[in-house]
Amino acid sequence: MLTIFILPGIENNDAEKLMKSFKVSSLTVKFVMVDTVADINIYKKETLWYGVFYDNEYLEEELAEALFTFFVLAKVDILTVFKLLEESVKFFPRFFKYHIYLKDDLSPLQQGLIHEKILNGWVLENGKRIKSDYDKSILANPYNTCGVTPS
């Protein structure tokens, strides 16, 4: 149902941890190790959706569990996920329909595509610690990225 392309990360590499983070009962995943985004673009995709991750990243369990629903119900071309960085939280496109080609920064080459954000969980990096109470509050409530509690 899903192909995941794994690119080499800069540090704290652990492709096995990334693969294990996708092991949920609702997903069947094929993993493909690649060296560059160009390798992804020329690869013949056999699944409707594919994802791209670095080998120093992994999914929180909540995100992995939610993916199946998005793949089945979403009427979009790209699914974007939250990633906790050293000092901020950002959205990154990480799941794409099979026909989408990528630039080196993992943004799509095509224009006019429909995006949807997945707010169920996080992409995290190996070796990165949650440093502050602010970071912990963001993890506890990903809808609230500005430090204000919604009413």
**For the chain, domain boundaries:** 2-80+91-127
Of residues 55 and 25, more confidence is placed in: 55
pLDDT-derived band at 131 (thresholds 50, 70, 90) equals very low
Nearest-CA neighbor of 81 among 56, 55, 57? 57
- Lowest-confidence segment of 5-19, 35-49, 79-93 by average pLDDT: 79-93
pLDDT-derived band at 26 (thresholds 50, 70, 90) equals confident
**Partner residues linked to 62 by β-bridges:** none
Q: Cα separation of 58 and 7, whole Å?
A: 12
pLDDT digits 0-9 by tens, 70-99 = 998 889 999 999 887 767 788 889 999 999
Is 105 a residue whose pLDDT tops 50?
yes
The class (CATH top level) of 2-80+91-127 is alpha beta
Summarize the confidence of residues 111-131 as an average pLDDT: 80
pLDDT score of 91: 86
Encoded tokens for 27: 């997903």
